[in-house]
Amino acid sequence: MGVMTGFRNHNDWRDTYGYVASFEKIKTLDLFDVNQDNLLYQEKGFYLLTSSIKTLCNNSTFYLLCIGLLSSFLLAKNLSRYCLFPFLGLGIYIARFYMTRDLMQIRAGLAIMIVCYAIQYIKRKKLWKYLLIVLLASSMHISVLLAIPFYWINKININCRKILLWLFVAFVSAFICEAFINLLLNEHLEIIKQAYIDGNSEYSKGHGLSNPMIYFQCLILLVFTFSEKNLKDIIPYYFIFRNGYFYSTILLILLSPYLVLSGRTSTIFATFEIFIIPSFIIILSGKLRIAMYLVIGCVMIGIFFLNCLSLIDSSATLRNLM
């Protein structure tokens, strides 16, 4: 995966062209000259990582290869640590996230893998280690600061009844309180408002509650929640995964009027799908277990196919613009 990421065509993937252009502007490593003017991003950690790579070799393919290998290494570590069936988890990652993260939004992909690595410290109750790693991740992509309150969310007694109640509240809020949510964002989050809410661009328009991913995540969450008795003693991080995916789903529902905002806030803990979905295999036994393999496989192939179609259209648009 890392090698494929490094040797992809720069001009075929949205965002990649911008990262390569930024790489060409950046100077070799100098901690006293961190000039990020006119770059695609402003996070200093990713700037220093990019500058370090350029110091080793001033080649854009080498740059993308290093980032791809680093992200893939962290993915492998996380699957090995958290997933019952790592190879199945890898397949789910490829279907759901690989193209949009590792081949496009490379900062977010790397930052989210760092956050996933950090969740072990929630279970160990090592607050400062968790916070330091999340802050490191935020220096790659600022959105993962949303992972900071997750440490304390895990101290709340969240049960099946509360999950159902809050899902209901989230749907009602998204349906009747869009104006209030818009006002709240306008008043307190001006940068987000300018980037993802104002205007009529693809970044500001959302699908609202017609977004099928809302119902996909709700289904995954509810299956995982109502399988608590079967899974909690087998999966050491069961409650952390459930709470994180619940957090993700609530964000996706509440911010559904704003396409990119809902996606970029919810995707951090939506990544837990690569640990959650493989566990569905052990809920059933015998022929039903085989059927579950087939269902998961067919659904992921379908999602992968839809992602491919979307990215083909995106690549065609990008070529026309160039």
Taking only the tens place, the pLDDT of each residue in 25-75 is: 887 765 555 555 556 677 888 988 998 999 898 999 999 999 999 999 999
Taking 60 as the threshold, does the pLDDT of residue 261 lie above it? yes
Residues sharing a CB contact under 8 Å with residue 80, sequence separation 6 or more, in sequence order: 86
Which of 113-117, 220-224, 255-259 has the weakest average pLDDT?
255-259
Write down the pTM of the prediction. 0.89
Higher pLDDT among residues 11 and 253, named by residue: 253
Which residue in 106, 140, 88 sits closest to 14, CA to CA? 106
- pLDDT above 60 for 275: yes
Taking only the tens place, the pLDDT of each residue in 180-196 is 666 655 554 444 444 44
Q: Structure tokens of 190?
A: 């001006």
The upper half-sphere exposure of residue 183, i.e. CA atoms within 13 Å in the direction of its Cβ, equals 4
Q: Please say if the pLDDT value at position 151 is more than 50.
A: yes
Asked if 261 and 192 touch (Cβ cutoff 8 Å), the reply is yes
Whether pLDDT at 156 is above 80: yes
Q: How many CA atoms lie within 13 A of 74 on its CB side?
A: 17
Residue in the block written with tokens 């959302």:
206
Q: What is the pLDDT of residues 297-312, one digit of tens each?
A: 999 999 999 988 887 7
**pLDDT given at position 29:** 67
Residues 6+ apart with CB under 8 A from 302: none
pLDDT for res 176: 77
Mean pLDDT of all residues in the chain? 85
Contact 89, 275 (CB under 8 A): yes
Q: How far apart are CA 76 and CA 233, in angstroms?
A: 24
pLDDT band at 16, cuts 50/70/90? confident
Nearest alpha carbon to residue 51 among 40, 38, 71, 36: 36
Instruction: Check residue 263 and give its pLDDT.
Output: 84
311-68-122 Cα angle (round to 5):
100
The most confident of the ranges 28-32, 189-193, 241-245, 313-317 is 241-245
Question: Both tokens of residue 129?
Answer: 């280690």
Nearest CA to 151 among 228, 240, 232? 240
Q: How many Cβ atoms are within 10 Å of 105's Cβ, its own excluded?
A: 24
Examine the pLDDT at 239 and tell me if it is beyond 90: yes
Could you tell me if residue 251 is left (phi over 0), alpha (psi between -120 and 50 degrees) or otherwise beta? alpha
pLDDT tens column, 136-147: 999 999 999 999
Find out whether 17 and 11 touch, Cβ atoms under 8 Å. yes
> Considering only 21-35, 65-79, 152-166, which range has the smallest mean pLDDT?
21-35
Q: Rounded to whole angstroms, what are the CA distances from 115 to 5, 13, 93, 174, 257?
A: 21, 25, 16, 28, 26
Contacts of 87 (CB under 8 A, 6+ apart): none
pLDDT band at 198 (very low <50, low <70, confident <90, very high): very low
Instruction: Please report how many Cα atoms fall inside a 13 Å half-sphere around the Cα of residue 28, on the Cβ side.
Output: 5
Residue 88: its pLDDT value, please? 95
d(CA 214, CA 198): 23
Band of pLDDT at residue 207, cut at 50, 70 and 90: low
Residue 320 CB-density burial (10 A; 0-12 exposed, 13-18 middle, 19+ buried): exposed
